[in-house]
A and B are shown apart, each in its own frame.
Chain A
Amino acid sequence: MSRCSRTFALAAVTIVWGGLSAHAETMRCQSINGNLNCAGSSGVSCQTINGRTVCVSGHGDVVQSFGNGHADQGMDDMPPNPPQRYAHRHQWPDHSVDPRTIDPDWPNDDDE
């Protein structure tokens, strides 16, 4: 192997290694009663379990939780959902019902 090619290979390895290192990201996770909620370095995730909502930001600047989360009637005291529209793609398997008949806060497509 010539000196030039060795230098080139070393440079390539350095560039690849540096690139991988630059893409290494951290995940910020929160687990409550076994329910896991994670966000990457620039992501945001919100999870509502029976009325208790927890939000996690990868930046670590926004971590909040609200709602007292009764296990039996969680929907009645559920705070407003995070600013997110649910719509357009439904997957109703057999033996299932429209969640809007269970969840009064379920966003309605007709509203849009």
Chain B
Amino acid sequence: MVRTSMVLLALLAAFPAMAQERGGLAMRNQSLTLEKIEANQGCPLSSTSVTVGINKATAFGSSAQQQLGTRNGGGSGCRPLVSTQVVAGVNLALGSKSNAGQSVAAQGPRGVLATDVFTRGYNYAYGANSTANQRLSNQIGR
């Protein structure tokens, strides 16, 4: 009876320890991850870029074109560990026979551990015989 109780107590103590070891970030290549962290010494841990464009053609027969581009981080030999990229665009062809073209692009740094991207676009061809073309690109560096 006493032996059984001891075994149960040992199992109860072991399960929480296993749960702790299995938690957290799962790393595919631990040595590579550590190398990247060590190489980041003296550099920013993260970088964030926000690229937003608003383009509109309102008059009759008008044309409005817009191009935006951002290259995120990676300057002066430094690479962040985490990169966040936001790309958003609003493109409006409001006038009759108007034309609105918009292109928004962003590229993240290479060699980061993780990248979060957020892309959002709103494209409207409201006017009679109007055209609206929108192109959003949110690229991860490799």
Contacts and interface: CB of A to CB of B under 8 A. Distances in A.
Contact of B65 (A72, A87, A97): A87
A14 B66 CA distance: 43
B125 A91 contact: no
A40 B68 contact: no
Contacts, number: 152
A92 B66 CA distance: 9
Contacts of B142: 72-73
Interface stretch (B24-32, B33-41, B128-136): B128-136
Interface in A11-27: 27
A86 B119 contact: no
B130 A40 contact: yes
A58 B137 CA distance: 25
Contacts of A47: 121, 123, 133-136
B1 to A, nearest CB: 59
Contacts of A86: 65, 67, 101, 103
Secondary structure type dominating chain B contacts? strand
A95 B127 CA distance: 34
A36 B51 CA distance: 18
A48 B119 CA distance: 11
B138 A102 contact: no
B133 A81 contact: yes
A43 B121 contact: no
B103 A103 contact: yes
A38 B103 contact: no
Interface string A20-50: 0000000100000011111111111111111
B124 interface: yes
Given A34-B120, A93-B68, 4 more contacts: A40-B127, A43-B130, A45-B131, A50-B136
